[in-house]
Amino acid sequence: MIENRKSDHVAIASERDVNSHYNYWDDIQLIHNAMPEINYDEISTETYFYRRNLKYPIIIESMTGGFSQGKVINENIAKVASELQIGMGVGSQRILLKKKELTDTFSVIKEYDIPLRIANIGAPQLIEQHREKAVTDDDLYYIMNVLDAHFIDIHFNFLQEVVQPEGDKKAKGIEMRLKEICSKFPVIAKETGAGFDYNTGMRLKRAGVMAIDVSGVSGTSFAAVEHYRAKELNDRVRERLGLTYWDWGIPSPYSVMTLNNIGLKIISSGGIRNGLDVAKSIVIGADLAGIAGHALRFAREGYRPLLEEMQTIVEELKAAMFLTGSKSIESLRTKKYLVSGRLKDWLEYK
């Protein structure tokens, strides 16, 4: 069941229009510097995420694994992440706790020199769901060792779960279990398209997470993905829920702006399409930018299409740095910007 669901998710996310209807990154405008007084070839895009050194402040984010095509996709991403020296996450590894024979669909990335490798398990799996037991510490050690991971994403996907025909809808007790896990593992709290607000960010900080990956509204809507799955399963209630909640959540840039002063590393994701969006992420306070759905389409095509797209993205990032007079990522963080549109309305929310 999980294996088929993973395959469905990849196919739908790649082949259907499942993006949010509004991309809030378009509401941010960087200020042009007509006299940058730097040389393009001397721009440094290097950055650190804790002690991990990345050539560019980019992660190709958690998407897949656990089925045959997932191995091919993960290997394509791993090759590109290694070549460009950027970070990489994998999709949920929950399936490995039942089907260890699928380990190689994830472990293939260990064969590549990736500076930041991130394992993945869902927050719903931290507690008992239906007749499925909660993940143990041993389970978490196992899925991290499969990748030789530096961090583990615990993804919060309750919007998806409430729309999903077979979704896990128990949430009580997750916060307490998260605190226990954070005392033993390097945890990144990650949303999956609906974003985090300030209050939740502070609860995550108190729980002990090392970073927050906002993954807000602007990119792939998993309510939309589940809408299409429900339609294929002839589940009219879930099909309707997916439509109703297609654009539910907190905008990605708003999440970054809200959380960038809470004292944690912030990963900006959700709707990142190009290097200009990466630059905007850094300017508004993110440490790294994560690309998921946009990269998935190229990763399915092969290593070369994905490499060419990511090389284009890093050139777009450098262009934004040059045109704002930013010789380094640290310099880029100091630049001013304008906000308009719906994002401006969100920033007036108290």
Q: What angle do CA 347, 59, 221 make, to 5 degrees?
A: 55
CATH number of domain containing 195: 3.20.20.70
* Total domains, the chain: 1
User: 96, 102 in Cβ contact below 8 A?
Assistant: yes
Structure tokens at 337: 């910007």
User: 25, 275 in Cβ contact below 8 A?
Assistant: no
User: 329, 58 in Cβ contact below 8 A?
Assistant: no
pLDDT at 152: 98
What are 168's strand-pairing partners? none
- The one-letter amino acid code at 273 reads R
Contacts of residue 294, Cβ cutoff 8 Å, sequence gap at least 6: 219, 272, 273, 309
pLDDT at 5: 60
Structure tokens at 117: 């490798």
Query: What single-letter DSSP state applies at residue 314?
Result: H
Specify the pTM. 0.96
Query: What single-letter DSSP state applies at residue 16?
Result: S
Q: Is 205 exposed, middle or buried (0-12, 13-18, 19+ CB in 10 A)?
A: middle
User: 320, 30 in Cβ contact below 8 A?
Assistant: yes
pLDDT at 1: 54
Query: From CA 202, how far away is CA 243, in angstroms rounded?
Result: 31
pLDDT at 6: 61
E strands, the chain, in order: 28-30, 47-49, 52-54, 58-60, 87-89, 117-122, 151-156, 187-191, 211-213, 265-269, 288-291, 337-339
Residues in the chain, pLDDT under 50: none
Structure tokens at 292: 């998921």
259 is in which domain, residue-wise? 2-347
CA-based nearest residue to 216, from 64, 74, 22: 22
Instruction: Return left, alpha or beta for 181; rule: phi > 0 is left, psi -120 to 50 is alpha, else beta.
Output: alpha
